[in-house]
Amino acid sequence: MQPHTTVGIVGGGPAGLLLARLLHRSGVDCVVLESRERAYVEHRQRAGILEQSTVDVLRSSGAAGRLDREAMVHDGIELRWNRHTHRLDFPALTGGRRVWVYAQTEVVKDLIALQIEDGAPLVFGAQVRAVEGADTDRPVIHYTHEDRDKTLTCDYVVGCDGFHGVTRRAVPRGAIRTYERVYPYSWFGILADVPPSCDELIYAHSPRGFALHSMRSPEVSRLYLQVPNGTDTDDWPDERIWDELDARFAIDGDWKLERGPITARAVLPMRSFVTEPMRWGRVLLAGDAAHIVPPTGAKGLNLAAADVVVLARAFAHLRATGSEELLEAYSATCLRRVWRAEHFSWFMTTTLHTDPAHSDFDARLQTSQLDRIAASRHAAAELAENYAGLEIG
Ligand code: RFL
Ligand code: PHB
């Protein structure tokens, strides 16, 4: 007999792992197939900011023990432009919302440990090659594990395999529509063994380009610089990175950027992308497999978590009632939140970055918008509500 599961999950990133956790707790059986090895998945540097709703779901699924001990709770961010700084107070502007600084790598480690502790199936080194039969009631996952070709038949397949995954290809061309925007700049991200020079994240707009000061712990800083697409990390010796960060964060006041040993560096392209619908037959897409946002709004991981919450609820409903009604509503429910986050991420990105094709006129519009955020509680609240996370769907 062929191996079979109710929900076959392609990809063991945050979307796949959290979905598996939620399904396991509702008594829905599933298998996670992840192409990479555990150590690789646990150390891939990605997101750092969790919204209230993401923390809530990690807590309610019993996955927030270490998060509640170690995460840093932030009540705002700083925006910098024209050599001055403006703080947004999230709880005051949003009726009490805040964000958590807890690295995606840590969320992933916590979820993997729980999955293994539960004895729930999670296969590393399982490279999915294709998903077939989306329009049948027995879709099949074809994958390679330990040099052997294998298959897994499923009632449903969920593609949590990120932007470059294969599950999206199971949907015939023409059955889904994609929307895309590629930005004319990238982020150069570093990790440095130096205490953060700030208590909260700093998003800086400057004529030299955007910079972001984030953090991973009281001892480790995470910083990003806008750079041209195609930038080679070898062209950026440490001194040049720190000098450029210094120049972009500079304000007419007392502030100093502390420097330290750089332990990781990478260039990350930026893209907006949406697949509509997020379901076709018995194949569903979640997280980055379905949509991508540029990281300026800190939304990607939170969107992935929101998708799988909706999906887990739909599978639990199916199990309890036999009704597919929530699965049928899955795509429309998620896309409302996705498009809001797409807009916000685009807004943050285009307001804060320097576009090489832009004129001085465009640059003045950007600073006018930032001035407006500083002057108007309504404009500030709009940014704060989106950043700290909206209740949608
Ligand atoms: P992932 O994390 O890409 O996981 C997909 C998993 O699928 C596996 N896979 C396959 N497995 C089997 N067979 C195949 N054929 C497979 N193909 C792929 C991959 O190995 C991988 O393990 O997608 P997921 O789970 O949807 O999670 C999405 C998030 O990772 C992503 O949205 C965020 O990291 C985006 N993001 C941020 N999001 C936030 O909410 N807050 C942030 O502060 C934030 N900062 C960021 C970010 C993304 C960044 N990069 C790298 C673009 C900062 C950066 C720099
Ligand atoms: C991060 O800490 O990696 C981070 C924080 C905020 C962002 C993007 C990335 O907007």
Strands (E) in the chain, as ranges, are 4-10, 30-33, 49-51, 72-74, 76-81, 84-89, 99-101, 122-123, 126-132, 140-145, 148-159, 177-192, 201-204, 211-215, 221-227, 262-276, 279-280, 283-285, 291-292
For 247, residues 6+ apart whose C-beta sits below 8 A from its C-beta are 206, 208
Residue 18 lies in a domain: yes
Ligand 1 atom at minimum distance from 41 CA: 22
Reported pTM:
0.96
Identify the domain containing residue 167 by its residue range.
4-72+102-180+271-350
Cα 132 from Cα 354, distance rounded (Å): 44
Q: Ligand 1 pocket: which of 105, 161, 268 to mutate (most atoms <8 Å of CB)?
A: 161
Least Cα distance to 393 among 280, 278, 296, 298 occurs for 278
pLDDT tens digits, residue range 83-142?
999 999 999 999 999 999 999 999 999 999 999 998 889 999 999 999 999 999 999 999
Q: Nearest 5 degrees, angle CA 180-CA 184-CA 190? A: 105
Question: Does 277 participate in catalysis according to the annotation?
Answer: no
Report the separation in Å between the CA atom of 10 and the middle of ligand 2, taken as the mean of its atom positions: 26
Q: How distant, in Å, are the alpha carbons of 51, 233, 283, 368 from that of 315?
A: 24, 44, 13, 47
CATH of the domain at 302: 3.50.50.60
Pocket of ligand 1 (CB under 6 A): 10-16, 33-36, 41, 46-49, 104, 127-128, 160-162, 165-166, 189, 268, 287-288, 295, 298-302, 304
Ligand 2: which residue has its CA nearest to atom 5? 48
**Quick check: is 8 in a domain?**
yes
CA-wise closest residue to 286 among 6, 18, 2? 18
Q: Is residue 127 part of a domain?
A: yes
| Bridge partner list, 140 | 132, 153
Q: Is 74 a catalytic residue?
A: yes
Catalytic status, residue 203: yes
Q: Is 25 within a domain?
A: yes
**Is 139 noted as a catalytic residue in this protein?**
no
What integer best gives the mean pLDDT of the chain?
96
Place of tokens 């009281």: 218
Taking the C-alpha atoms of residue 102 and residue 112, their distance in angstroms, rounded to an integer, is 16
To test the pocket of ligand 1, the residue of 9, 104, 149 to mutate (highest count of ligand atoms within 8 Å of its CB) is: 104
User: Residue with the nearest Cα to atom 6 of ligand 2?
Assistant: 298
In a domain, 176, yes or no: yes
Q: How many domains does the chain have?
A: 1
* Closest ligand to residue 217's CA: 2
Examine residue 208 and state whether it is found in any structural domain, yes or no: no
Residue 305 lies in a domain: yes
Q: Which of 41, 45, 46 to mutate to test the pocket of ligand 1 (most atoms within 8 A of CB)?
A: 46
**C-alpha–C-alpha distance, residues 263 and 241, integer Å:** 13
Give domain status of residue 295, yes or no.
yes
Q: In a structure prediction context, what are the per-residue pLDDT tens digits for the chain, which is 393 residues long?
A: 689 999 999 999 999 999 999 999 999 999 999 999 999 999 988 888 999 999 999 999 999 999 999 999 999 999 999 999 999 999 999 999 999 999 999 999 999 999 999 888 999 999 999 999 999 999 999 999 999 999 999 999 999 999 999 999 999 989 999 999 999 999 999 999 999 999 999 999 999 999 999 999 999 999 999 999 999 999 999 999 999 999 999 999 899 999 999 999 999 999 999 999 999 999 999 999 999 999 999 999 999 999 999 999 999 999 999 999 999 999 999 999 999 999 999 999 999 999 999 999 999 999 999 999 999 999 999 999 999 987 755
How does strand 122-123 pair with strand 30-33? parallel
Supply 388's token pair. 């700290």
Catalytic residue (one of 185, 299, 330, 353): 299
Summarize pLDDT for 207-216 with one digit per residue, the tens.
Answer: 999 999 999 9
Rg (CA), the chain: 21
**Active site (annotated) includes residue 14:** no
- Beta strand pairing status for 201-204 and 140-145? unpaired
